[in-house]
Amino acid sequence: MAIVRAKIAPGASDITAEFSKQNIRQTLKDYKALKSSTGDYQFGAITAKHYNLNAQELSAWQAECANYPTDVQSEIKRTVICALNNTDSSGNDAPIPIVFNWTSGSAWISTAYIPYGQKGGPSYTITISGYPPPTPSSLGERRAKSKGR
């Protein structure tokens, strides 16, 4: 069942793209549409909105998100909220891109802020170890294959 879910849930490349410099402003809009009055959001909801998941894809995505314990979800959300709520010196939205990495081994999570990355601006890196990573291929590629394109 987990393999079937993974085939219709967003993949690692989708999450990377969603939080990339090119897409971070749309991700901020998605977050603003979902966040509560306290700034919190349901883990996985931003990605579900960003990729306009249908009911079957949403169910699979929620099952994938459930692989992460509450404390790991909280740490990921903390970093996402911080990155998306960043403002410049004038108070304008200046969301910071996030790079996600998954590794094997013992269970741990690490977050890092990089003030000036290789691409010139600040970024965050979230490294997740010991939990099942999303499938490497993008949901868009898998959607196209299922439609015979």
Q: Residue 148 — pLDDT band, cuts 50, 70, 90?
A: low
Nearest one of 58, 57, 51 to 13, comparing CA atoms: 51
Asked whether residue 5 carries a pLDDT value surpassing 70, the answer given is: no
Domains identified in the chain, total number: 1
β-partners of residue 103 are 129
Full domain range(s) for residue 51: 2-146
CB of 22 within 8 A of CB of 119? no
**pLDDT tens profile 96-114:** 999 999 999 999 999 999 9
**pLDDT tens profile 114-128:** 997 666 789 999 999
Q: Residue 3 — pLDDT band, cuts 50, 70, 90?
A: very low
Residue 111 CA to its chain's centroid (Å): 13
The CA-CA-CA angle for residues 85, 87, 89, to 5°, reads: 160
Nearest one of 147, 142, 149, 144 to 4, comparing CA atoms: 142
Q: What six digits make up the tokens of 8?
A: 């219709």
pLDDT at 140 (0 to 100): 59
Nearest one of 118, 109, 128, 40 to 80, comparing CA atoms: 40
Q: Model pTM? A: 0.87
pLDDT at 1 (0 to 100): 44
Alpha helices by DSSP H, the chain:
2-8, 12-18, 24-34, 45-50, 55-65, 70-84, 139-146
Q: What six digits make up the tokens of 109?
A: 């999570």
pLDDT at 67 (0 to 100): 92
CB of 80 within 8 A of CB of 30? no
**pLDDT tens profile 44-93:** 999 999 999 999 999 999 999 999 999 999 999 999 999 999 999 999 99
pLDDT at 138 (0 to 100): 63
What is d(CA 93, CA 69) in angstroms, rounded to the nearest whole number?
30
